[in-house]
Structure 1
Amino acid sequence: MASSIDPAAVLKDAAVPFPGAINDDAHPPNFIIRSSDGVDFHLHKEILKFGSACFDGMFSVAGDQDTQSNTKHDGKPVLVLPEPEAVLYRLFSLAYPPQ
């Protein structure tokens, strides 16, 4: 069973290409997904929407509210998922172009 963390707690940023420290100024990430073990993935909503009907629907329903999450980090909305870092890293690596 996955451990639950405080949504405001950040243990670390994910590895390349998802850390917040490596931001492309022309196209900065605008959304964070936090793993159950406290790892932040700094992502682009448009890439998530393109790669997944689930995310497309989530962002369409949320509209300008970004998400229903009240948690923000670095000015970006945060969605905490029950999956651990290793699972999310593999999932997001499939959606993102190779670095």
Structure 2
Amino acid sequence: MHSEYSTLTAKKAISLLRAAAVEKGSSFNKQAKILGIGNHAISARYTNGDMRVSEFFTLANAFGQRASDIVKQAEIITEQQKANIKQGSKNE
């Protein structure tokens, strides 16, 4: 159960990071250059919802965000989703 929660939280954090990139108008090309990787690699990281912690922190910083704030927001959203699922199963 903890592994599933961790995976969902990580995927949500990366989704929120991507939203921050869109808000800042940062293209995959620009992000790839920041990380020193190819465009395909950055796209794959967002698609898979998985990236290195150092990449996450670097990009968050580049978007003017604190990585810890993004992760905290992801945890809150995941907890809310988990509570909604539990609530839904109680109502059935």
TM-score, scaled to structure 1 = 0.30
Whichever of the two has the greater Rg, that structure is 2
Structure number with the higher strand fraction is 1
Structure number with the higher helix fraction is 2
Query: Does 1 or 2 have the higher relative contact order (CA < 8 Å, sep 6+)?
Result: 2
